[in-house]
């Protein structure tokens, strides 16, 4: 089984650490870090560190796009991007080391023309094989319709491939209607779909049922420190991590999705899929990354999970 990750609105995330944020003065960074940012890229990294391989697809442009391509390939992640005319966005985060707070400014993504979209569909068709698993992630770039993911899922299904979807808003609702094999909402996205807040396990179960009713075949509801509620339509399981020291929650959902996809690619049963998703995320949040050989530490975390089978 080949795995492909799709990031249609990627960015370079530029982190600048400063001793203190002071307005109307020249600030000097004590550390600089660039991250090739895109939810699909994060999933590819998680898969790689769990021992899997994937190819990253999407749209890139300009010097920033060239840097993303070269940076991912230097990490050992294969790419096959479609080039757009405008520069891929750079998001800037200025971190105040004195108080541990930050200012982040996100650019609007590079527009994707109709011609670039058709090139991307041709790229998908070139790779498309029955039984492969495609991970569709993130916000939509300017120029892409809210039905973009739904149309892509239909294309994948026509070729016999699986689709996992992680997005939000109208794109998530439209995507669910195309019956993806997996969706991975968080509680905010569940509220957006249902209009009901998730404050209890009963709320979470109703939210999962709503995503099934919307068309999703498998649902992985990410609940932060409360873990993961996973359903394949027959088995419903809650995987809760132990209390851990959280360094950052940014990217935790992508690590969770990487663990789920890795387990699905191994043909694991639903309870094991839930374990791998929850454990991969719990390991990630403690250090803002996964170790290069992540399987041993993820397996250790699996032993510490609290697993509750709610159905059947």
Active site residue 17: no
Q: In b/e form, how buried is each residue of 10-27, taking b as 16+ CB within 10 angstroms? A: bbbbbbbebeebeeeeee
Mean pLDDT by 10 residues, the chain (312 residues): 96 93 94 91 96 97 96 96 96 90 90 98 98 96 97 98 97 98 97 94 97 98 95 97 84 94 97 98 90 95 97 90
Question: Quick one: 31 exposed, middle or buried, by C-beta within 10 A (0-12, 13-18, 19+)?
Answer: exposed
Which of 232, 254, 287, 293 is the catalytic position? 254
Per-residue model confidence as pLDDT tens digits over 156-176: 999 999 999 999 999 999 999
Of 281, 255, 268, the residue nearest 218 (C-alpha): 268
Domain limits of the chain? Answer: 1-108
The CATH number of 1-108 is 3.40.1190.20
Angle among Cα 9, 11, 14 to the nearest 5 degrees reads: 160
Q: What is the dihedral sign for C-alpha 151, 152, 153, 159? A: positive
pTM: 0.93
């Amino acid at each position: 089984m080949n795995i492909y990750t799709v990031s249609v609105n990627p960015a370079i995330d530029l982190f600048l650490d400063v001793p203190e944020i002071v307005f109307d003065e020249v600030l000097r960074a004590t550390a600089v870090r660039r991250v090739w940012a895109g939810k699909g890229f994060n999933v590819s990294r998680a898969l790689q560190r769990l021992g899997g391989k994937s190819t990253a697809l999407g749209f890139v442009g300009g010097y920033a796009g060239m840097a993303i391509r070269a940076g991912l390939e230097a990490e050992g992640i294969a790419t096959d991007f479609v080039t757009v005319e405008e520069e891929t966005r750079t998001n800037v985060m200025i971190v105040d080391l004195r108080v541990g707070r930050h200012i982040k400014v996100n650019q609007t993504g590079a527009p994707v023309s109709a011609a670039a979209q058709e090139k991307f569909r041709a790229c998908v068709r070139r790779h498309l094989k029955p039984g492969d698993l495609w991970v569709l992630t993130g916000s939509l770039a300017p120029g892409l319709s809210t039905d973009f993911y739904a149309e892509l899922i239909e294309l994948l299904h026509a070729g016999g491939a699986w689709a996992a979807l992680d997005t939000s808003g109208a794109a998530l609702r439209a995507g669910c209607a195309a019956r993806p094999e997996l969706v991975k909402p968080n509680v905010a996205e569940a509220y957006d779909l249902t209009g009901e807040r998730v404050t209890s396990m009963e709320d979470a179960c109703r939210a999962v049922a709503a995503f099934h009713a919307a068309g999703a075949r498998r649902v992985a509801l990410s609940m932060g420190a409360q873990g993961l509620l996973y359903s394949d339509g027959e088995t419903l399981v809650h995987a809760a991590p132990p209390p851990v020291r959280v360094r950052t929650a940014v990217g935790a959902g992508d690590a969770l999705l990487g663990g789920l996809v890795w387990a699905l690619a191994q043909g694991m049963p639903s309870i094991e899929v839930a374990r791998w998703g929850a454990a991969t995320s719990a390991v990630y949040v403690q250090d803002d990354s996964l170790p290069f050989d992540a399987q041993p530490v993820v397996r250790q975390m699996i032993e510490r999970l609290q697993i509750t089978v709610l159905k059947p």
